[in-house]
């Protein structure tokens, strides 16, 4: 079945400038008014010092204290997650991935779309859109996630076959299968999953008779981690079409 066309969600036009700043996570309403009053906000190169100025928010790009900020009603960003960060608002042993994002994104409550272990690197998506989180993580949606796996021992054809046919994990009697699995080196493979469970890749490889020593997510849906996005860096996405591919129209 083809998907209905996906559109970027825009804020309503004609909002007060202070309201727009508040919606983007730049502080309390009073703090946002103060930002405007002290001349910290520019639009198209011009300082705007009236918090009540009515601004068309559609496709608006603000300049706040010299930093460019595209206005989105719902935030969706990708992050190149480094090792040593937890995908949690309340990390236990390592810093949170949230510390890699600017304060406005943290204030508006973005959350990871699925989690990566602290020692796993690669493509992580974050959003404040709860409905989008559900669409991209639901097993019924079959959104592929691709992992580059480094194993402790040489990968055998038998292990590849086991991962494709299905392995049994301790907490589930039903076999868990990889949607695709290919060997990329003597001790490396590329694994595609359509669901996400706790430590799933590590547990699957252990059940197949090997052990993960390094794990990197290179793709989420149709979105690949850009080569020019360094570990710890993040980037805006236009919307879910960046993840699911070009939209199609239902007949």
Nearest-angstrom CA–CA distance, 133 and 229? 23
Instruction: For residues 94 and 232, give the distance between their C-alpha atoms in angstroms, rounded to a whole number.
Output: 14
Runs of H (alpha helix) within 29-187:
29-37, 103-107, 130-137, 157-165
For residue 22 the two structure tokens come to 């508040």
- Report helix, strand and coil shares of the chain as percent, to nearest 5: 25, 30, 45
d(CA 86, CA 120): 9
> 3-class secondary structure for 142-168?
CCCEEEEEEECCCCCHHHHHHHHHCEE
**Phi, psi torsion values for 244, nearest 5 degrees:** -95, -5
Active site residues: 117
Least Cα distance to 219 among 147, 158, 130 occurs for: 147
Q: Roughly how many angstroms between the first and final C-alpha of the chain, as a whole number?
A: 11
Most distant pair of Cα atoms in the chain: their distance: 68
Q: Which residues pair with 96 in a beta bridge?
A: 86
- The tokens describing 107, both together, are 């204030």
């Amino acid at each position: 079945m083809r998907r209905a066309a996906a559109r970027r969600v825009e804020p309503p036009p004609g909002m007060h400038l202070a309201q727009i700043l508040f919606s983007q996570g730049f502080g309390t309403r009073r703090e946002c008014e103060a930002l405007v009053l002290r001349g910290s906000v520019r639009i198209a190169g011009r300082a705007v010092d009236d918090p009540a100025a009515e601004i068309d928010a559609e496709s608006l790009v603000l300049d706040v204290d010299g930093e460019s900020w595209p206005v989105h009603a719902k935030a969706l960003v990708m992050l190149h997650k480094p090792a040593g960060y937890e995908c949690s608002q309340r990390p236990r042993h390592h810093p949170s991935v949230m510390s890699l994002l600017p304060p406005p994104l943290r204030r508006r409550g973005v959350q990871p779309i699925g989690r990566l272990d602290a020692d796993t690197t690669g493509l992580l998506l974050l959003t404040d859109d709860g409905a989008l989180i559900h669409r991209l993580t639901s097993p019924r949606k079959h959104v592929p996630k691709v992992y580059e796996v480094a194993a402790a021992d040489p990968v055998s054809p038998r292990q590849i076959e086991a991962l494709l046919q299905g392995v049994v994990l301790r907490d589930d009697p039903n076999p868990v299968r990889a949607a695709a699995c290919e060997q990329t080196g003597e001790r490396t493979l590329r694994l595609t999953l359509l669901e996400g469970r706790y430590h799933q890749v590590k547990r699957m490889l252990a059940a197949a008779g090997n052990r993960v020593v390094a794990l990197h997510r290179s793709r989420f849906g149709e979105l690949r981690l850009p080569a020019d996005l360094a570990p710890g860096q993040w980037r805006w996405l236009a919307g879910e079409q960046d993840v699911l591919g070009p939209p199609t129209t239902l007949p």
